[in-house]
Structure formats: structure tokens, C-alpha cells
Homo-oligomer: A and B are copies of this chain.
Amino acid sequence: MDASASTPAEGVRAPARNGDVRVVIIGAGFGGLETIKGLAKAPLTVTIVDRKNHHCFQPLLYQVATAALSPADIAWPIRKLVRDQKNAYVVMAGVTGIDRLAQRVLTDSIALPYDYLVVAAGATHSYFGRDDWESSAPGLKTLGDATDIRARILRAFEKAEITDAEATRRKLMTFVIIGGGPTGVEMAGAIAEIAKKTLLGDFRRFAPAESRIVLVEAGPRLLPAFPESLARYAERSLTRMGVEVLTAEAVVEVDAHGVTTAKQRIEAGTIIWAAGVAASPAADWLDAAHDRSGRVIVEHDLSLPGVPNIFVIGDTATVKTASGAPVPGIAPAAKQMGQFVAKTIAARVAGKQSAPRFTYRHYGDLATIGRTSAIVNLKGVRLTGFPGWLFWSVAHIYYLIGTRNRFVVAFDWLWNYITFQRGARLISP
């Protein structure tokens, strides 16, 4: 984009009020939203820019991918979330770069000048250098990914119904999920439920319950972020639900017809990638140092080394706790970073001292395993099974943003729980 095209916008984005400080936030995920909300009362202009028009509650994406919820149930227009915040502007545009010299964010439409910049651009899938695997094994980061995976799963069953070749049907009825973290565990459990409960009686020429669902993890056990006892519980639960759990088994090849691990070949009609996460291209935009996953290395106050007016937060940054452990890539961590950075910017604009160091508080870890079971690890409290699921449900409904969405999601879950049905079994859109 040439500079002249962006000049008029600059005039508008930076209102003429004297002394007005311009903050630009890239990304309306958990981190970006907390930042803009934290700046609501500060005397500055905050512009949040996102490729999408909506914030997506990513922890429930797997429920959209498995037809339990509709996309709109877990998404909110960004504008609606900040409509009452007078100093907030929302721009729907794709970021293409950052001009650090001129202090502006470049997008596919206008340029956004900033005095402070907060990069909260999230993460995407990483195929460990094998990007050619993506078309066969899509990952789950956006609502588009979720409806795509939903269509793949449902279409596999439709194709299995009309094929006459037994080998083809076996392949179509095989689902491989790569990666044994929370997303992989949740997807495997939900697909098992679809095959063994939801679709019961829907097909005439094969039994969906005979589907093979394989969860492959390269590490020695599932859910490395959880204590071993809970991970073992999850593994036992999945096995009881009919999921084959393969641990210590690295995937060496993925293609349109299946997965090859170090030990075997699995022909599969549907493959889902839940293994690797890579940061957004923010390190490139900023020309900044980063770790192997592309996450930007930041100072203790989350600013870019040597650039005190640029902050990088959430999955886009690599941050250590006081004990030296990495801060996990989960929603509460991104929110805490957003709150911290908002306070820092507000303090600096007010000429006050800001806190020199971000401190992460870990409240716990949650993961569901199917319809009525979950594992919960809070400080000193471990829940499994139905009590875990109840806690998980209440926590997730509590954190869902809109009142309407809380009702609809709660209703859909209750419905699913009573009937085993899934309300959103649509192959596109």
C-alpha cells in the first residue's frame, strides 16, 4: 500500500484534540479485548483492529466443530462489545505490517498511526515445517476452521453410506486426531459421542458406532499440563468411550488418505490437527527476536526490548513466570496480560509509575471428555467425571460474554445432555 492512500485515514483516526494519545491494539481475542476495556477511562483514543468482525470464544470452538453449538453462539461483534466505550474505535481490516519508524500499523485498507501499540494477534496452527499437511489435516483456530471440520466429519458419514467398497467405508469411518492436548482430547471425545450416540439409527447401510477414533500423541502421555493422575483418568475415560489412545507415537507423514506414525499406517477419511501452535506473523511485522514457535521475546513488562511503547501479549509473546516456567497459551493468561498492559499505558499517560513486571497467576486447568465428564485441576482441588463436567460447564457459561449467548449455550447443552442430539449438524455453511 502506498503512503498517500493511508494519509486521509490518519487524520481521522487521530482526532485533532490536543494531547490525545493514540493506542492501537492488533487483535480482538481475549488479550486485545481486556486491553481495550482496561483503557475505557483513560484520556486517549483506542483503536482495535481485527481481520474478523467478531470476537470468538475459542475454548468452545470444538463444540462448533462437532455440531453441538452454532457459530453465533460463541461469537460477538467486536463493535457490540465496545459500543458504550466512548474512546474506542473498531476497524475490520487485515494487518499487513508495522511501520515502526513512522509508528503506524499497515492494513489491507487504511493505516493506523499509534503512540502506543499492543500486539495481541494470537496464534495459528504449526505443522512443524510440513505446511503441506494442512489441507489433509486442518486445525481449529477460527469459526471458519470449525465449520470446515464439522462438514468433513459429517460428510465422511454421508459418503460411508453410499459406498459399496468395504475398505473405503472403513477408511471413511476412521477419524484421526493428532495431538493429545485439551483440544485433541475434547475433539476425540466429541467425535466418539457423535458416532456412538448422536447418529444412532440415522444410517441404514453401516453402523456409525463402529467408527474408529484414534487420538495420536507423540509425548509419553496425554495432557502434559495436567497432573499425571488426571491425564490417566482422561485416557481411561476416552478408552471407555471407544477412542484408541496412542501415546509415545510420533506422526511422520500425513496425506489425503491417512496418517503414518513411527509404528503404523492408519487409513483415515478425516484427520484433525491439534498438535502444534505457532504465533501470528507479529515477529516479522516487528522485526523482533522470537522463539522457535515464532513468539516474540518481551521484557518483564511485556514491552518489546528497547521499544517501550510497543507491547506484545497473549499467544503472540513468550513470557516466563517468576519461577521461570513459560506462561501457558490459555485465555486467562492472555486476559491477565491485557489487563497489565492497559494499566501500564494508563499509568504512563497519566505520568505515573507503572509496574515493572507482569506476574501471572495460574488458577487451574480444565478439559472435557465427552458429554458428562471433565477433568479440573485447581489449586489443591482435583475434580473428575460429572462434578468436573458441572464445574466446567458453569465456568464456561460464566465466561461467555453475552446474556443471550449464555442462555442459548446453556439450553443447547441441556438439550444435548437430555437427548444426545446435536443441534447444528449442517454441512455448510
Contacts and interface: CB of A to CB of B under 8 A. Distances in A.
The residue among A77, A79, A412, A425 with the most chain B CB atoms within 10 A of its own CB is A77
A426 B143 contact: yes
Interface in A80-116: 80, 83-84, 89-93, 109-110
A405 B425 CA distance: 12
A424 B428 CA distance: 16
A336 interface: no
A223 interface: no
A161 B91 contact: yes
A162 B423 contact: no
Contact of A407 (B70, B411, B426): B411
A152 to B, nearest CB: 12
A208 to B, nearest CB: 10
A425 B53 contact: yes
Nearest to A405: B423
A79 B202 contact: yes
Contact of A164 (B8, B72, B77): B8
A106 to B, nearest CB: 13
A364 interface: no
A73 interface: yes
B162 A110 contact: yes
A161 B428 CA distance: 30
Interface residues of A, number: 58
Nearest to A402: B423
A284 interface: no
Contacts of A380: none
B202 A424 contact: no
A260 to B, nearest CB: 28
Stoichiometry, as copies per complex, reads 2
Given A110-B162, A407-B411, A80 B426 contact: no
A84 B201 CA distance: 7
B204 A80 contact: no
A146 B71 CA distance: 14
Contact of A411 (B52, B203, B204, B408): B408
A167 to B, nearest CB: 14
Contacts of A159: 109
Interface string A42-79: 00000000001110000000000000001111010101
A158 B110 CA distance: 12
A12 B53 contact: no
The residue among A93, A146, A419, A429 with the most chain B CB atoms within 10 A of its own CB is A429
A8 B168 CA distance: 14
Contacts of A412: 404, 408
A147 interface: yes
B93 A162 contact: yes
A308 interface: no
A427 interface: yes
A247 B421 CA distance: 47
Interface in A381-429: 402, 404-405, 407-408, 411-412, 415, 419, 421, 423-429
B54 A147 contact: no
B80 A12 contact: no
Q: Which 9 A-B pairs have the closest CB atoms?
A: A72-B424, A70-B70, A79-B202, A8-B164, A92-B158, A147-B429, A53-B427, A77-B425, A70-B72
Given A8-B164, A143-B428, 10 more contacts: A9-B164, A53-B154, A53-B425, A70-B70, A70-B72, A80-B202, A80-B421, A89-B204, A90-B161, A109-B162
6 contacts: A54-B425, A70-B70, A70-B424, A77-B426, A408-B423, A429-B429
